[in-house]
Amino acid sequence: MARAGGPEATRVAVLGGSGYAGGEFLRLALGHPRLHVTQVTSERHAGWPVTAVHPNLRRVSDMRFVSASELQDADVLVSALPHGQALQRIDELLALAPRLVDLSSDFRLRDPAVYERYYGRAHERPELLGSFVYALPERRRSELAAAARIAGAGCIATAATLALAPLLEAAVVSRTDVIVEAKVGSSAAGSVPGVASHHPERMGVVRTYAPTGHRHTAEIEQELPSSLRVHLTATAVERVRGVLVSAHVWLHDGSSERDVRSAFESAYAAEPFVRFVTARSGHHRVPDPKLLDGTNWCDIGWQLDPDSGRVVVMAALDNLVKGTAGHAMQALNLALGFDEREGLGFVGLHP
């Protein structure tokens, strides 16, 4: 059974492929016309068929998980290890392939002091911070071209940065503080169960798990103008997939709805995976993560309160695709010189 691509395809190995992020990247890679998946690792499931863990891949792949000790050279290594593990093995990983895509948070930040502040420990390899390109193609496209090291962005950070960047760069925002509220599905917590994800605890929940201090705050502030202060609150909701960010900013006096629209159109009109949701009527007039399950879209909408000058910008995406594996695939396409849309054509379902 074909594992992806043709005989000239780029060889890709996935490290830690039994988790949600690794499994999602594997799904995308198996459908990519120019990638060939050579190995997928899992220590817990070594020897098992990939389909025993990812049943959606039945009749798509006959691969079996192998131990990381069995990894062979590849053109690209995608690390989907839990946060902190790629950092501990980074020299080994860099030696396995000329290109490394790390989906964890280990190399997203550039400042060691900021990393220590948000992660509560010093970074073990601070000299490597800044050597990875942040995988947000809408912001880092030129740097991603031919990049050898790619750091996947956080899902909330992706949505919030895409929501805020156009207005901030158009200089229509009057305050340097912005308020961001994120609602997040359960898969963002990963595949390893915990007390908070136990079904009786998660069922029916609308739980604010990070009123302040969420780690993605550091990424958002890193990717936006340096004078910005982000106040982020994250709430768990009863969905498996999805992030919905609502960002609140205030415009300068005299700014209008036309200025807001112009800022977003200037930034994203040509972007292949950003859509504007601006309908004036109907129940689909604002972004909704449900419509984005499995897709690499980020849907953005906004509404201006003319009395206060406050704009609410809403950005929705699938946290496992555009929020993790999808933007990593998009970034990898750019690094390899492919069309960035390759392997990312699924448009979603309705209803």
161 and 91 inside one domain: no
Q: Has residue 217 got a pLDDT over 50?
A: yes
How many Cα neighbours within 13 Å face the side chain of 211? 0
What is the CATH classification number for the domain harbouring 226? 3.30.360.10
Domain that holds residue 173: 155-319
Q: What is the mean pLDDT of the chain?
A: 96
294 and 329 inside one domain: no
Q: Has residue 59 got a pLDDT over 50?
A: yes
Band of residue 3 on the pLDDT scale cut at 50, 70, 90: low
Peptide bond into 351 cis (omega under 30): yes
Which run of H or E residues covers position 114?
Answer: helix 112-119
User: Domain for residue 308, yes or no?
Assistant: yes
Q: What pTM did the predictor assign?
A: 0.96
183 and 294 inside one domain: yes
Encoded amino acid at 316, one letter: A
206-210 and 149-151 beta bridge pairing: unpaired
> What pLDDT, on the 0 to 100 scale, is given for residue 280?
86
130 and 275 inside one domain: no
Q: Mean per-residue pLDDT for 253-280?
A: 95
Band of residue 196 on the pLDDT scale cut at 50, 70, 90: confident
Going by C-alpha positions, the residue among 114, 113, 132 that lies closest to residue 230 is: 114
Q: Mean per-residue pLDDT for 271-291?
A: 95
> What pLDDT, on the 0 to 100 scale, is given for residue 10?
98
260 and 175 inside one domain: yes
> What pLDDT, on the 0 to 100 scale, is given for residue 226?
82
Tokens of 271: 């972007």
What is the CATH classification number for the domain harbouring 43? 3.40.50.720
Annotated catalytic residues are 155
> What pLDDT, on the 0 to 100 scale, is given for residue 339?
98
State how many domains the chain has. Answer: 2
User: Domain for residue 93, yes or no?
Assistant: yes
6 burial via Cβ count (<10 Å: 0-12, 13-18, 19+): exposed
% the chain with pLDDT above 70: 98
Q: What is d(CA 155, CA 64) in angstroms, rounded to the nearest whole number?
A: 29
306 and 177 inside one domain: yes
Tokens of 249: 């900013």
19 and 112 inside one domain: yes
Tokens of 35: 């990638």
Which run of H or E residues covers position 155?
Answer: helix 155-169
Which run of H or E residues covers position 299?
Answer: strand 298-305
**pLDDT tens by residue, 131-183:** 999 999 999 999 999 999 999 999 999 999 999 999 999 999 999 899 999 99
> What pLDDT, on the 0 to 100 scale, is given for residue 198?
85
Q: Has residue 2 got a pLDDT over 80?
A: no
